[in-house]
Amino acid sequence: MNSGDQLFGTRAAVQIRYDGSLKKLTSKLSDELFHAAFHFETDMDPPHVEFAMCEALGFEMWLNHSERTSGYNYELRMETCHCDPEIMSDRMLDISPWLARYVREIGGIDAVVSA
């Protein structure tokens, strides 16, 4: 790599409409899209909301309940693993439109880009 080349990381955030539980959604995403198991944690601060996370294909992913977009009840966020230098240097590419399409077309789950 030339010294003039810059590395970029990627990030994405999509809203998901899904009628099942967080655990059922992570199972579907794991089996059909990411082929990696999610594990569950809770926020450190009250009310200690549960969320799911995993690492797959070089990305860290977080899934949690969200009412940010009317009619959608989950948010899936992801970013390149170990990308702190890229975040600090504002070298992150937003691939949210791709992730929304991937979740919709491959997973059959309604998803839109987060507002």
Cα Rg of the chain (Å, integer): 15
According to the model, what pLDDT value does residue 3 have? 47
Compute the average pLDDT of residues 20-27: 95
In a domain, 3, yes or no: no
Report pLDDT for 5: 66
Is residue 53 within 8 A of residue 39, CB to CB? The reply is: yes
**Bridge pairing between strands 92-94 and 9-17:** parallel
Give the total number of structural domains in the chain. 1
Q: Is residue 17 part of a domain?
A: yes
- H/E element holding 50? strand 50-56
102 is a domain residue: yes
Report residue 70 as tokens: 């009317």
pTM score above 0.75: yes
Confidence (pLDDT) at 115? 74
pLDDT higher at 111 or 6:
111
Contacts of residue 104, Cβ cutoff 8 Å, sequence gap at least 6 = 110, 111
Q: Where are the alpha helices (DSSP H) in 33-83?
A: none
Give me the domain span that covers residue 80.
Answer: 9-39+47-113
94 part of a folded domain:
yes
99 inside domain: yes
What span, in angstroms and rounded, lies between the C-alpha atoms of 15 and 110? 8
Per-residue pLDDT tens over the stretch 49-107? 899 999 988 899 999 999 889 999 999 999 998 888 888 888 889 999 999 999 999 99
